[in-house]
Amino acid sequence: MNFNDMQALSFEIKNLHDKVEIYSKNKDYVYTDVYKSWIVEYNHLLDKYNALANLNITHMSFNTHDLSSTQKTVRNTTIEFFLNNLSNLIRKLESDIEANRLKMAEKKIAPHQMRKCFKLDISGCPINPQYQRNKIFIAMPFSAEYLDSYNYGIVPALNALGYEHYKADNEITNKDIMCKICQQIQACKMVIINISGLNPNVMLEQGLVYGLGKPVIIIKDKNTNAISDLGSIEYIEYSHAGDLRDKLLKALD
């Protein structure tokens, strides 16, 4: 369906609805000829909708039982039925327009980006991060306990292979920390997640990464017990920074 054509048709149908409603409220009677002209207009609009939506909704017909005993005017129940048909058609068309709008918005969202911002409850990411095919995001606890694994394990391996890397606490900004992390995860090619210590913030980042479908390498030290929910997922276990470096070089090569 053409989005603009649907919106234009919705406007035409609403105009007919308003015209019928105003006329019937301001007149004591709706004459037969007037009602017949409304049916002709309705069926013309219905033809447009059928063509746009590839449907075959039946035309509305004119029947003698729609008329009063004099046959010159239309029954009030007939006008109510007619307005109800128009209202139903408007709702159906608006539903189609909304579905089409969401489909168009979905197409504009790049594959590496969030479908919906979970903080602002809007479609897509307002920051619109650009994909960086050589960047790897590193998710790990902000703790001195794991600095050696980063400085002497992860960084040397990535530098040796020519990868850029990003760790959130290495960049001081006034951005919301979660937005900063989410932006960088969207932009990166791959993510290395250190689940050592089972830090809840790292677990949240891991959920975002899986939701975005990013390639992931999970690492953990030997002191951290494996999580049962990750039992079937491969991970790298290391005993010291040098061990981690060598295993990452092999995994990324």
Nearest one of 156, 129, 151, 140 to 212, comparing CA atoms: 129
Percentage of residues of the chain with pLDDT beyond 90: 77
Q: Which residues contact 159 (CB under 8 A, 6 or more apart)?
A: none
Per-residue pLDDT, 103: 79
Query: Hey, what amino acid is at 17?
Result: H
Question: For residue 77, what pLDDT band results from cuts at 50, 70 and 90?
Answer: very high
Note the pLDDT tens digit of each residue in 88-104.
Answer: 999 999 999 998 888 77
Per-residue pLDDT, 118: 86
Note the pLDDT tens digit of each residue in 174-194.
Answer: 778 899 999 999 999 999 999
Q: Would you state the CATH architecture of domain 135-252?
A: 3-Layer(aba) Sandwich (3.40)
Q: What is the pTM of this model?
A: 0.60
Whether 225 shows a pLDDT value over 90: the answer reads no
Note the pLDDT tens digit of each residue in 119-132.
Answer: 888 888 989 999 99
Per-residue pLDDT, 241: 97
For 243, the token pair is 């061990």
Question: For residue 231, what pLDDT band results from cuts at 50, 70 and 90?
Answer: low
Q: Which parts of the chain are beta strand (E)? A: 116-117, 122-123, 135-139, 164-166, 190-194, 216-221, 236-238
Question: For residue 108, what pLDDT band results from cuts at 50, 70 and 90?
Answer: confident
Q: For tokens 């920074």, what's the residue?
A: 241
Instruction: Report whether 45 contacts 16 (CB < 8 A).
Output: yes
Per-residue pLDDT, 229: 67
Query: Hey, what amino acid is at 165?
Result: H
Q: For tokens 């608006």, what's the residue?
A: 94
Q: What mean pLDDT is reported for the chain?
A: 92
**What is the H or E stretch that residue 252 is in?**
helix 241-252
Question: For residue 230, what pLDDT band results from cuts at 50, 70 and 90?
Answer: low
- β-bridge mates for residue 218, sequence order: 193
Pairing status of strand 135-139 against strand 190-194: parallel
Note the pLDDT tens digit of each residue in 64-75.
Answer: 899 999 999 999
Average pLDDT over residues 126-141: 95
Whether 80 shows a pLDDT value over 70: the answer reads yes
Sign of CA dihedral 235, 134, 109, 138: positive
Q: Which residues contact 163 (CB under 8 A, 6 or more apart)?
A: 134, 135, 136, 252
Per-residue pLDDT, 83: 96
Query: Hey, what amino acid is at 127?
Result: I
Per-residue pLDDT, 226: 77
Whether 250 shows a pLDDT value over 80: the answer reads yes
